[in-house]
Structure 1
Amino acid sequence: MLKDDMIMKAGIIHILDSSMAMPVLSDYPIDLGSDLCDFLKAHIEKFTESDDIKNCQFSDLSDIMPIIRDCTPENFVDSSKLLCEKLFQIMNSNIDIPPADVAVMVFSVKSCDYLAILKLNYRTSYTHTTRQLENGNSNEIILHKSLLPTQGQKLSEACVVDLSTGEVMLTEKKYEVNGEKRLYFSELYLQCHAPLSQKSKLDIVTKAVEQINDKYYGKDDAERRMEVKNVIYQELEENGALQVESIGEKVFKDSLEMQEAFSEKMEKYNMTTEVVEPKSQRTIKKFQKQHLTTETGIEITIPMEEYQNPDRVEFITNSDGTISVLIKNIGRLDSK
Structure 2
Amino acid sequence: MNDIIIDKAILHILDTSIGSPVLADKLMSFSPQADEFLKIHIARAMEDGDIKKGGFKNSDASVQEHSESCSPDTFDTEGFKRAISNLEPENFIIVSQQLAQNIFELALSNPAIPAADVLICHFKYDNGIYFGLLKFNYKQSYIHHFAMVGDEKETGIIQQNATIANESQKLDEFAFIRLDDFSVLIKEKKYEINGGKEFYLSNRILNVTTDLSPKTKVKIVEKAAEKVIKEYYGEDPLRVSQLKTELKSCVDENSIVEIDRITNAVFDGNFSAQQRYKDEVAQKGISGRAFEVTSEIEKTVARKQKITTDTGIEISLPVDYLENQKKIEFIMNDDGTMSILIKAVNIR
Q: TM-score band, normalised by the shorter chain?
A: 0.7 to 0.9
Q: Tell me the equivalent position of 2:316.
A: 301
Q: Matches of residues 210-229 of structure 1 in structure 2 within 5 Å?
A: 210-218=226-234, 220-229=235-244
Measure the CA separation in 2 of the matches of 1:35 and 1:276: 36
Measure the CA separation in 1 of the matches of 2:83 and 2:20: 20
Judging changes above 3 Å, is the alpha-carbon distance between structure 1 residues 188 and 285 closer, same or farther for their aligned structure 2 residues? same
Partner of 2:17, secondary structure, is coil
Q: List gaps (5 residues or longer) in structure 1.
A: none
Q: Matches of residues 282-301 of structure 1 in structure 2 within 5 Å?
A: 282-283=297-298, 285-294=300-309, 299-301=314-316
Partner of 1:141, secondary structure, is strand
Q: 1:129-177 CA distances to partner (integer Å, 9 max, x unpaired)?
A: 2222113222211222212112222211101122333222211111122
Partner of 1:265, secondary structure, is helix
1:127 and 2:125 matched: no
- How far the C-alpha of 1:283 sits from its partner, in A, is 4.6
Measure the CA separation in 1 of the matches of 2:310 and 2:288: 40
Q: Tell me the equivalent position of 2:132.
A: 116
Judging changes above 3 Å, is the alpha-carbon distance between structure 1 residues 73 and 329 closer, same or farther for their aligned structure 2 residues? same
Judging changes above 3 Å, is the alpha-carbon distance between structure 1 residues 286 and 239 closer, same or farther for their aligned structure 2 residues? closer
Q: Tell me the equivalent position of 1:46.
A: 44
CA contact (8 A) 2:23 2:97 kept: yes
Partner of 2:12, secondary structure, is strand
Q: Matches of residues 238-253 of structure 1 in structure 2 within 5 Å?
A: 238=253, 240-253=255-268
Paired amino acid for 2:140: T
Q: Which is worse superposed, 125-134 or 98-107?
A: 125-134
Q: Tell me the equivalent position of 1:151.
A: 167
CA contact (8 A) 1:16 1:88 kept: yes
Aligned match for 1:8, one of 3, 6, 9: 6
Q: Which is worse superposed, 229-238 or 185-194?
A: 229-238
Q: Tell me the equivalent position of 2:340.
A: 325
Q: List gaps (5 residues or longer) in structure 2.
A: 63-74
1:208 and 2:224 matched: yes
Aligned match for 1:277, one of 292, 296, 301: 292
RMSD of aligned residue pairs (Cα, Å) = 2.5
1:260 and 2:275 matched: yes
Aligned match for 2:331, one of 316, 322, 326: 316
Q: Tell me the equivalent position of 2:54.
A: 56
Q: Which is worse superposed, 290-299 or 16-25?
A: 290-299
Measure the CA separation in 2 of the matches of 1:281 and 1:158: 17
CA contact (8 A) 1:101 1:121 kept: yes
- How far the C-alpha of 1:84 sits from its partner, in A, is 0.7
1:37 and 2:35 matched: yes
Q: 1:271-298 CA distances to partner (integer Å, 9 max, x unpaired)?
A: 3533122132535623122233556665
Aligned match for 1:69, one of 85, 110, 122: 85
Measure the CA separation in 2 of the matches of 1:92 and 1:191: 20
Q: Which is worse superposed, 137-146 or 73-82?
A: 73-82
1:81 and 2:81 matched: no
Partner of 1:10, secondary structure, is strand
1:197 and 2:217 matched: no
Q: Tell me the equivalent position of 2:24.
A: 26
Q: Which is worse superposed, 208-217 or 149-158?
A: 208-217
Judging changes above 3 Å, is the alpha-carbon distance between structure 1 residues 23 and 311 closer, same or farther for their aligned structure 2 residues? same
CA contact (8 A) 1:244 1:272 kept: no
Measure the CA separation in 2 of the matches of 1:248 and 1:275: 12
Aligned match for 1:103, one of 119, 131, 135: 119
Q: 1:62-119 CA distances to partner (integer Å, 9 max, x unpaired)?
A: 4443442345223433332122112212222221111111111122236643221100
Q: 1:263-320 CA distances to partner (integer Å, 9 max, x unpaired)?
A: 2223324535331221325356231222335566655332222222211111233455
Paired amino acid for 1:153: Q
| Identity value in percent | 34
CA contact (8 A) 1:230 1:287 kept: yes
Judging changes above 3 Å, is the alpha-carbon distance between structure 1 residues 30 and 281 closer, same or farther for their aligned structure 2 residues? closer
CA contact (8 A) 2:252 2:298 kept: no
- How far the C-alpha of 1:224 sits from its partner, in A, is 3.7
Measure the CA separation in 1 of the matches of 2:263 and 2:134: 38
Partner of 1:324, secondary structure, is strand
User: What TM-score do the two structures reach when normalised by structure 2?
Assistant: 0.84
Measure the CA separation in 2 of the matches of 1:28 and 1:167: 28
Q: 1:228-277 CA distances to partner (integer Å, 9 max, x unpaired)?
A: 32232333334542322453233122433322221222332453533122
User: What TM-score do the two structures reach when normalised by structure 1?
Assistant: 0.87
